[in-house]
């Protein structure tokens, strides 16, 4: 008997993983909040990183619209808080769970493929389907497309990308990634749309003449899959945190450039947990190693996130501005101008710290600061739906179209500045 219980205890210690608490979205609500006094703003921002609260849209200035998701158990206390501080608010989404279920239903019924049998732009696709699409393109368009592997994840998935190149040597390269944050589904979708335009649309072949492209649509596949299967609002990686029952690290706080200096948490349960050390995450390591291996050719880095319509450039760790701020700004303005022609969408442009919030350890800062890429941007794509990340898949196409117009402006600039004439 004693032996049996010892055996069970050892078995438990070895085999049973930490039980993860998956928060229920039943009764969760999204509040829209506008502050008019500094006291109100500070009081609201104090909820950042607290259990039960998730800033979907952050605002650091008085009058900014803040969107805060509050889990059911915290709603009453939060309402009391709003009354106490006399904070202007309304409820944007009464029933987050229902919105998640509606999206899942739409996903089940949306066409998975286009008329030519390839991946559609009417659904948010899983990692496997996105990888299969890239493999299909690589075998069909052998002269321009090849699959690259940049690393693997905590759960053992491979991080794939597509290299698009019409050949030749010494060309400048553009690196685009998406899906570093799991729940921001429009980002991988837009990366896939970009691949489609560059490879399948012959009318865009001019964009391959002078530059090479590396597109990594799902940089955090573990998190992305988990956001499809288990927790729609998952943001981080899926690594196990020693001594905590909370999983994952915010990979966009994990890069080793002024790591943990601002806007990052040392608490594993926080959505912005920066990790036990810089580059603790395989996903961040993979991007690091890829950039270092190609640092001579990569001239532009675009990392796709959502949401809020921002074109952000470094730095995120300080209010100081990069030396080429003017160049970064005017290029972003030209991109915004171009994309606005589709349906009037406008982006806010600026350094992250000035227009959004301070947050160190993000990929854009590292790619510029250490990777040596002078043109480094985070694109916060449009939000929609009931909690921002559930932008209806029917909008993938139009977001793709307008983002592609912006990308055209970026590439034309890279060609003018870097390509051999
Ligand atoms: O906070 C982030 O990681 C990004 N916003 S998101 O809503 N997608 O999470 C912004 C990152 C901007 N860049 C830097 N902070 N350097
Ligand atoms: Zn993000």
Residue 15: pLDDT above 80?
no
Distance, CA 100 to ligand 2 centroid (Å)? 19
Share of residues in the chain with pLDDT > 70 (%):
95
Q: How confident is the model at residue 17 (pLDDT cuts 50, 70, 90)?
A: low
Q: Which atom of ligand 1 is nearest to the CA of 363?
A: 16
CB-facing half-sphere around the CA of 73: CA atoms within 13 A: 5
Asked if pLDDT for residue 293 goes beyond 90, the answer is: yes
How is residue 262 annotated by DSSP?
Answer: S
Give dist(CA 296, CA 246) in Å, integer.
39
* Cβ–ligand 1 contact at 312 (below 6 Å): yes
pLDDT of residue 50: 87
Which of 352, 354, 366, 367 should be mutated for ligand 1, with most atoms under 8 A from CB? 352
Inter-residue contact 331 to 411 (CB < 8 Å): no
Using the predicted structure, report yes or no on whether residue 139 has a pLDDT greater than 60. yes
Q: Element (H or E) spanning 70, and its range?
A: strand 65-70
Is 54 a pocket residue for ligand 1 (Cβ < 6 Å)?
no
Q: Give the confidence band of 18 by pLDDT, cuts at 50, 70, 90.
A: low
| Cβ(322)–Cβ(315) below 8 Å | yes
The pLDDT of residue 19: 76
pLDDT, one tens digit per residue, over 193-222 is: 999 999 999 999 999 999 999 999 999 999
Which residue minimizes the CA distance to atom 3 of ligand 1? 252
The kind and range of the H/E element at 92 are: strand 88-93
Average pLDDT for residues 319-346, to the nearest whole number? 98
pLDDT digits (tens, 9 = 90+) for 90-137: 999 999 999 999 999 999 999 999 999 999 999 999 999 999 999 999
Could you give the maximum distance between any two Cα atoms of the chain, in Å? 81
Contact 283, 380 (CB under 8 A): no
Q: Which helix (H) or strand (E) holds 367?
A: helix 363-369
Catalytic residue positions?
A: 380
Question: Positive or negative, the Cα torsion across 349, 355, 358, 359?
Answer: negative
Give the ranges where 141-293 is alpha helix by DSSP (H).
186-200, 221-229, 282-293
Q: Are 408 and 334 in contact (CB under 8 A)?
A: no
Q: Which of 234, 309, 359, 377 to mutate to test the pocket of ligand 1 (most atoms within 8 A of CB)?
A: 359
pLDDT of the residue at 421? 58
| pLDDT of 3 over the 90 cut | no
- Report the separation in Å between the CA atom of 6 and the middle of ligand 1, taken as the mean of its atom positions: 48
pLDDT in tens, 51-98: 899 999 888 889 989 999 999 999 999 999 999 999 999 999 999 999
Distance 370 CA to ligand 1 centre (A): 18
Can you give the pLDDT at residue 1?
42
Burial class (CB in 10 A: 0-12, 13-18, 19+), 206: exposed
pLDDT per residue as tens digits for the range 148-195: 999 999 999 999 999 999 999 999 999 999 999 999 999 999 999 999
Determine if ligand 1 sits within 6 Å of the CB of residue 364.
yes
Instruction: List, as one string, the DSSP characters of 42-67.
Output: HHHHTTTT-TTEEEEE---STT-EEE
Q: Over range 225-229, report the average pLDDT.
A: 98
Q: Evaluate if residue 5 carries a pLDDT over 80.
A: no
Q: Return the residue matching tokens 């055209």.
A: 408
Q: What is the pTM of this model?
A: 0.94
Query: 181, 234, 248, 252: which to mutate for ligand 1, most atoms within 8 A of CB?
Result: 252
Mean pLDDT across the stretch 298-303?
A: 98
């Amino acid at each position: 008997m004693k032996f049996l219980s010892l055996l069970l205890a050892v078995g438990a210690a070895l085999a049973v993983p930490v039980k993860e608490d998956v928060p229920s979205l039943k009764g969760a609500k999204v509040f829209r909040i506008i502050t008019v006094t500094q006291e109100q703003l500070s009081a609201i921002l104090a909820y950042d990183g607290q259990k039960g609260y998730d800033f979907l849209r952050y605002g650091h200035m008085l009058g900014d619209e803040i969107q805060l998701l509050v889990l059911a158990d915290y709603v009453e206390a939060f309402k009391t808080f709003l009354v106490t501080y006399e904070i202007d608010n309304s409820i944007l989404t009464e029933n987050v769970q229902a919105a998640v279920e509606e999206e899942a239903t739409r996903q089940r019924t949306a066409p998975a493929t286009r008329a030519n049998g390839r991946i559609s732009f009417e659904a948010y696709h899983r990692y496997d389907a996105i990888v299969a699409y890239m493999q299909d393109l690589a075998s069909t368009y052998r002269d321009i497309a090849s699959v690259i592997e940049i690393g693997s994840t905590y759960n053992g998935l491979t991080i794939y990308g597509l290299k698009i190149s019409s050949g030749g040597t010494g060309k400048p390269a553009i690196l685009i990634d998406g899906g570093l944050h799991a729940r921001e589904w429009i980002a991988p979708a837009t990366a896939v749309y970009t691949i489609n335009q560059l490879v399948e649309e012959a009318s865009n072949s001019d964009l391959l003449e002078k530059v090479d492209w590396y597109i990594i649509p799902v940089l955090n596949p573990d998190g992305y899959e988990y956001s499809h299967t288990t927790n729609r609002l998952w943001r981080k990686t899926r690594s196990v945190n020693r001594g905590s029952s909370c999983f994952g690290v915010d990979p966009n706080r994990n890069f080793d450039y002024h790591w943990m200096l601002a806007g990052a948490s040392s608490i594993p349960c926080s959505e912005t947990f920066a990790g036990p050390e810089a580059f603790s995450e395989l996903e961040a390591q993979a991007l690091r190693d890829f950039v270092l291996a190609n640092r001579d050719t990569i001239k532009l880095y675009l990392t796709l996130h959502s949401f809020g319509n921002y074109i952000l450039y470094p730095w995120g760790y300080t209010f100081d501005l990069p030396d080429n701020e003017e160049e970064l700004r005017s290029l972003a303005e030209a991109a915004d101008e171009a994309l606005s022609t589709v349906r009037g969408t406008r982006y806010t442009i600026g350094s992250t710290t000035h227009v959004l919030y301070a947050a160190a350890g993000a990929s854009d800062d590292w790619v510029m600061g250490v990777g040596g890429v002078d043109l480094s941007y985070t694109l916060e794509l449009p939000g929609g739906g009931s909690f921002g990340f559930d932008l209806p898949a029917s909008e993938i196409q139009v977001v793709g179209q307008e983002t592609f117009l912006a990308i055209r402006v970026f590439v034309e600039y890279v060609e003018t500045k870097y390509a051999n004439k």
